[in-house]
Amino acid sequence: MKKHFNQNIDYILLLSFFIGSFAYFFLGYVTVRENRLSSGENLSILKVSPWNIIVFFELLLILFLSFFKNNKIASYITIFTGNIIFISVLSGVAHFSRNFITKDSLMRISLSGGAWMMLLAAYIVIFSVKKENFLKRWEKIIFPNLFLIVTSILLLNGFFDNLSIIQEFHIRKDKFLYEFFNHLSIAFYTVLMGTILGVSLGVLAYKKKKFKPAVLSFVGFFQTIPGLALFGLFIAPLAFLSYKYPFLRNIGIKGIGRTPALIGLTLYALLPMVRNTYEGLKNIDRSILKVGSGMGMNNIQIFFKIEIPLSVPVILSGLRISTIQAIGNTTLAALIGAGGLGTFVFQGIGQGAPDLIILGAIPIIALSLGADIILRMVKKIFTPQALKRSEGE
């Protein structure tokens, strides 16, 4: 009886309840500053949000729902509860800022630790539900992302304009858009070069066993070097080459800027691609290759018609890891003059402006999550039906 009771408890929801409750009762909800650089004062949710009672009852509902694990109705309610908490927290801060700040005021309103922890709790609640067990395909897309849809609508309608992070965005709008696409560009070319080189080296390690130790050691070595140090290794030789051969400088190859960033980031991106390409090819059932040979296929036909299609899901998993890693590591490129969203992160650190840090960090997180979702979908599309059935998808 006790064992059956424990199986019905959703411990992830319980964790969310405790995180949210701690944030609700003990942490500041908003930070009010006289200007963007002053220290500010933290205010609790009880003093700020007109919807604090809604959040409180939603937390109690999460506690109640945590005792109904894998229940279809409870799972639906759980998803909507997480969405309501997320929207209520953001809307509460925005409502306070709209009423508190006058048109020409220099005061700044920011989300404090309690609000961020509450948003984390809501996010965990939404994505803790095993949606594949009961949601239809369109529901899997819409229901867990209702908070994004509502928040985007409110954002586009100017509801959050008095928040400090949005004010930072409006001040630097052109710069932000430039660095956003610059960040995307650096990450894209990093993944492109990493994929071409990584797949090639993975195939080499698979086909020529004597090269396997050298290839895996080579790509693994660069993972042991800190990112900034790796970028620094290329500054001197690239600066020398651009000085010695001016045409290199004319095409953009210099000691600082995009070139050392792209080289360093590409070397970081190699390991997931090489490892997954090698493992994907190595783990193919040998009997399948014998069948292909028995049908009269030569080695090239077997490679392109059997080995590559069967290893694609594993290779795409490596691509997903490599892409997420590249988006995150590109943040450091700002330190060597390559730009990107890291520009705002490090400017914020230097100026002691947390909202400027968040302005750079949130898009990086969003890009990483978006890349993860898209590449998971791509992997599912390119996974052969036979493999899907064997994996129970």
CATH code, 306: 1.10.3720.10
* The total number of residues written for the chain in this structure: 393
Q: Are residues 107 and 54 in the same domain?
A: yes
- Reported as a single tens digit per residue, the pLDDT across 25-68 is 888 888 888 777 777 777 888 777 777 888 888 888 888 888 87
End-to-end CA distance of the chain: 32
Total structural domains in the chain?
A: 2
Q: Is residue 291 located within the same domain as residue 319?
A: yes
Residue 335, CA atoms < 13 Å, CB-side half-sphere: 16
Backbone angles phi, psi at 111, to 5 degrees: -70, 135
Distance of CA 182 to the CA centre of its chain: 17
DSSP helix/strand/coil, 1: coil
Beta-ladder partners of 33: 108
29 plus 105 within the same structural domain: yes
Q: What is the pLDDT of residue 101?
A: 73
> Do both 185 and 157 map to the same domain?
no
Average pLDDT for residues 285-294, to the nearest whole number? 81
Pick from 118, 147, 164: which residue ends a domain? 164
Number of CB atoms found within 10 A of residue 353's CB: 20
Range 239-252 average pLDDT: 78
Task: Determine the pLDDT at residue 243.
Answer: 79
Domain extent for 8: 2-164
* Paired tokens of 149: 């849809």
pLDDT in tens, 112-131: 888 899 999 998 888 877 65
Helix/strand/coil for 257: coil
pLDDT for res 202: 92
**Average per-residue pLDDT for the chain:** 84
The pairing of strands 41-43 and 30-33 is antiparallel
Q: What is the average pLDDT across 157-179?
A: 89
pTM reported for the whole predicted model: 0.84
Sign of the alpha-carbon torsion through 338, 340, 341, 347: positive
More confident residue, 257 or 140: 257
6 falls in which pLDDT band (50, 70, 90)?
A: low
Position 2 pLDDT exceeds 60: no
* Contact between 199 and 311 (Cβ < 8 Å): no
Residue 273 or 65, more confident: 273
Looking from the CA of 181 toward its CB, the CA atoms found within 13 Å total: 5
